[in-house]
Amino acid sequence: MSLNHAPPPVPRLAALATATPPFDLAQEAVARRAGAIFAAESSGVQRPSPIYRNARIEHRQACVPLEWFDETHGFAERNGLFLEHATALLSEAAGRALAEAGLGADEIDTIVTVCSSGIATPGLDARVMETLGFRRDVQRLPVFGLGCAGGVIGLARAAAMARAAPDSHVLLLVVELCSLTFRRQDHSKSNMVATALFGDGAAAAVITCRTDTVSPAAPRLGPWGEHTWPGSLDVMGWEVADDGLKVVFSRDIPTLVRDDLRPVVDAFMARHKLRLADIDEYVCHPGGAKVVDALEDCFDLDRGALGHARDTLRDHGNMSAATVLFVLRASLDAGGGGRRLMTTLGPGFTAAMLVIDA
């Protein structure tokens, strides 16, 4: 006697929307302002101009104007701004994603919220509930501490929850307001690099296995996976200082990408009976210009092949967890089907990977 096993439900990306705050910061203006600030704070500080030029960023968006960075701000003020603007940005992105999916907020069963650049208790998801009409019994999963890896891991967690409840709709919310972590008295290279890279942004995605509310052509999510290297807690992250979050970049991340990422990705692909030869496009988090170069070397791509990642970095900077979802949105907007591999790296030190078929 044979048993017929139904295939596992397939999570699909029903919608993906992004949102950015209102203040556009031209990189040249930021470089001039930062140079003046750091020079005023210390006569012996390293000139930051080359760091800004080498970042290959033209514009970034921030939730505060450029003049805000002239003053010293405490943790309480920073976090108050974070709560206000993160809630507003997530509400905007969520509204766009729901409209794209053709769903009402009351049709969402689960909300997964990813953020590492501020502290929210009650969580950001509970605050967004006050602005949008979610059901009072919606399930909430706030996730903190993933940093730049949060976009891919958040998408994977949302897909796993959709697969576990195939009749549900899952809303993924991702927001980072890294500009609020600027520390004018910190003259470390890590702080200067962060000041040259970080921007603010949010993204929202609707994921479901339902076939009645999503187009058969919607991108299919999975497989996904992660790898955390041993002894790597000091590679990147935040330290909590008296005036807020202090960025940690303590190792050569581009070298880690070139030397250590490819074996991890190859092993992930092999576990799922795939090869990199099966990938039509790479959707990678552009941590910085040198990281993008290293990713192209890692995957044996021509220089400039990661065009959507480079464009996102140029136009928005590094928005931590949200960035890779901006890259994915650009990739989907460009059209074309095939198989995409999403990758990102974050604190842990952790690589996250997810395959998308469209």
Count Cβ atoms below 10 Å from residue 133 Cβ, excluding itself: 10
Domains and CATH numbers, the chain: 12-208 (3.40.47.10), 220-357 (3.40.47.10)
Measured in degrees and rounded to the nearest 5, phi and psi for residue 329 equal -60, -45
How far apart are alpha carbons 303 and 349 in whole angstroms?
A: 26
pLDDT (average), residues 22-50 = 75
State pLDDT tens for residues 92-104. 999 999 999 999 9
Kindly report, residue by residue over 275-319, the tens digit of the pLDDT. 999 999 999 999 999 999 999 999 999 999 999 999 999 999 999
Other residues' Cβ atoms within 10 Å of the Cβ of residue 275: 10
pLDDT of 47: 57
Q: Is 148 a catalytic residue?
A: yes
Residue 49's H or E segment, with its range, is helix 49-54
Angle at 223 between CA 325 and CA 283, to 5 degrees: 30
Backbone angles phi, psi at 353, to 5 degrees: -135, 145
Instruction: List, in sequence order, the alpha helices (H) in 209-280.
Output: 253-256, 262-271
**Number of Cβ atoms within 10 Å of the Cβ of 34:** 22
Burial class (CB in 10 A: 0-12, 13-18, 19+), 117: buried
Query: 337 in helix, strand or coil?
Result: coil
Catalytic residue, candidates 63, 115, 148, 298: 148
pTM for the predicted model, two decimal places: 0.94
Q: What is the identity of the amino acid at 280?
A: D
In this prediction, residue 335 carries a pLDDT of: 87
